Amino acid sequence: MRALILPHPAPAEAGPLREVERAVPQPRAAEVLVRVEVCGVCHTDLHIVEGDLSPRRAEIIPGHQVVGRVESHGPDVTAPAVGARVGVAWLHQACGRCAFCRNGLENLCPEAIFTGYDVDGGFADYLVAPAAFVYPIPETFSSVQAAPLLCAGIIGYRALRIAQVSPGDRVGLFGFGASAHLALQVARHWGCEVDVFTRSKAHRALAHDLGASWVGGVEEQTPRPIDAGVVFAPSGRVAVGALRHLRPGGTLAINAIHLDQIPAFDYAWLYGERGLRSVSNSTRADGREFLALAAAIPLRPHVEAWPMTEANHVLQRVKRGEVNGAAVLEIAPALRTAP
């Protein structure tokens, strides 16, 4: 099979992903083999490729927003059925035994394994995944549309919940990429007003199109303070700037797996029982809830699709903030539009 491997971390501009031929993996007990149709590309992939996240496996195949068809089962697996369209997300597996797993927090499991980081991901023709950790894909979405839902969508949904967003709140989204453009639509569905903070003209236009109440820069003055917010930009400076827009008693969630250093700031910006929380991974419950909600709204994923061979170029676009919405690699173009 074709696969894009990372021989060693390097800047995206160096084109670090290399196409190779590998044997098709075989599913073991409790696993399914998935023939990949498409795979999304996000900032976590960029952090892995560039080494911001310490490598965990040599020559890993990145990619964790995977949509494809079940090709075969491992021993004792009967569902999902062969031919079913499924999604594979960041959380590859959790132990199921620790206190976190027993209390619905498998995202914090110390033995958690992650797709495209600990085990090979979706920048390839095939991958294997535990049958209990794949998702049925709603018929509402084509495979290209569904791919960003599996990380950008799920983690954005969790971030809104961590930020304690309630219906009718004024919500601030800081940075406006793949995750934020989906979170905006969820917040609007909940009856929230949404302020979007971004420098990009293209991102500002998309935010307006999707129903943002106000769009501008983090240094600008908004009509009134926000009740809750999510920082999507992997920037400590932006996180500190976001605090200045948060009302007393509000919560700001930082939705970044890697963040540069948070600069010193005036305690007055945090005082007043403002809360600052990180968002760490997601659970299968998050995924199931979000995918059902995404289909019910229905969400409008704004997607740029590229052939698999352009993966290095797409990573550079993600790094420069040039993707308007979400980026997706077409692994099997002939299959990608089948619902």
Summarize pLDDT for 218-260 with one digit per residue, the tens.
999 999 999 999 999 999 999 999 999 999 999 999 998 888 8
CA torsion 331→6→63→26, rounded to 10°? Answer: 70
> Could you tell me if residue 95 is inside a domain?
yes
State whether 231 and 304 are in the same domain. no
User: Sign of the CA dihedral 94, 95, 99, 101?
Assistant: positive
pLDDT for res 136: 97
Q: What is the mean pLDDT of the chain?
A: 95
Question: Which range of residues forms the domain containing residue 82?
Answer: 2-150+282-330
Domain boundary among 256, 278, 300: 278
pLDDT for res 336: 42
Q: What is the pTM of this model?
A: 0.94
**Average pLDDT estimate for 298-305:** 96
| Number of domains, the chain | 2
State whether 326 and 246 are in the same domain. no
State whether 70 and 145 are in the same domain. yes
> Could you tell me if residue 138 is inside a domain?
yes
> Could you tell me if residue 336 is inside a domain?
no
- 338 has pLDDT over 50: no
**Average pLDDT estimate for 267-294:** 96
Distances (CA, A) of 269 to 207, 217, 249, 250: 26, 18, 12, 11
- 277 has pLDDT over 90: yes
**Is the link from the previous residue into 11 a cis peptide, with omega within 30 of 0?**
no
Look up the CATH number of the domain holding residue 15. Answer: 3.90.180.10
State whether 6 and 134 are in the same domain. yes
> Could you tell me if residue 246 is inside a domain?
yes
- DSSP class of residue 124 equals B
Domain boundary among 278, 297, 313: 278
- 193 has pLDDT over 60: yes
- 101 has pLDDT over 70: yes
148 within 8 A of 182, measured Cβ to Cβ: yes
State whether 22 and 137 are in the same domain. yes
State whether 146 and 97 are in the same domain. yes
pLDDT for res 155: 97
> Could you tell me if residue 293 is inside a domain?
yes
Q: What percent of the chain has pLDDT over 70?
A: 98
Q: pLDDT by residue (tens digit) across 105-163?
A: 999 999 999 999 999 999 999 999 999 999 999 999 999 999 999 999 999 999 999 99
State whether 190 and 298 are in the same domain. no
> Could you tell me if residue 339 is inside a domain?
no
Look up the CATH number of the domain holding residue 185. Answer: 3.40.50.720
State whether 293 and 243 are in the same domain. no
* H or E segment and range at residue 75: none
Q: What percent of the chain has pLDDT over 90?
A: 94
State whether 143 and 186 are in the same domain. no
Which of 122, 31, 140, 121 is closest to 79 using CA atoms? 31
- The CA distance from 304 to 325, in Å, is 7
226 within 8 A of 206, measured Cβ to Cβ: no
Contacts of 58 (CB under 8 A, 6+ apart): none
